[in-house]
Structure formats: structure tokens, C-alpha cells
Amino acid sequence: MGTTNKVRLHRARLRAEGLRPFQMWVPDTRSTKFAEKIRQQARKLRNDPTEREILEQTDEAIRTTEGWV
């Protein structure tokens, strides 16, 4: 059985289970444009007081393990 036929059968089984295909496009993290965009965003947030507050709250939240169980 060829690969194309295996894929077709697999998709048919998934559809029979009530599922449907879904395609999502995400940023290409290997791209130099992506890396530069991240650097720009990080520079903008470097001294932002709201960002600092959010980071502090996040840090505190992950250090508090009470109620996790």
C-alpha cells in the first residue's frame, strides 16, 4: 500500500470519528525576519513598567505551589 493511500485511509478513519482537518499557519521561527521582530519587541518592553509588573506577578505565581495538588 502506497503512502498516499495510507494517508487517505487514515484521514477517512478520522472523519468517520467525527473529526475534520484543520490547518494553522504559524510564524516561521527559523526566519531572520522573525528573530529581528522578536528583538524589536523585546527592546520595546525592556523598561516598560507594566511589563516589569507582569513579570514579577508571574514569577511570584510560579513560586507559589500552594493549592497545586
| Amino acid at site 63 | R
d(CA 38, CA 66): 34
Question: Per-domain residue ranges for the chain?
Answer: 3-63
Give pLDDT, residue 67.
Answer: 82
Angle, alpha carbons 42-47-49 (nearest 5°): 115
pLDDT tens column, 6-62: 999 999 999 999 999 999 999 999 999 999 999 999 999 999 999 999 999 999 988
How many CB atoms sit inside 10 A of residue 50's CB? Answer: 8
For the entire predicted model, the pTM comes to: 0.49
Q: What are the phi and psi torsion angles at 55 (to 5°)?
A: -65, -40
Cβ atoms of 34 and 28 within 8 Å: the answer is yes
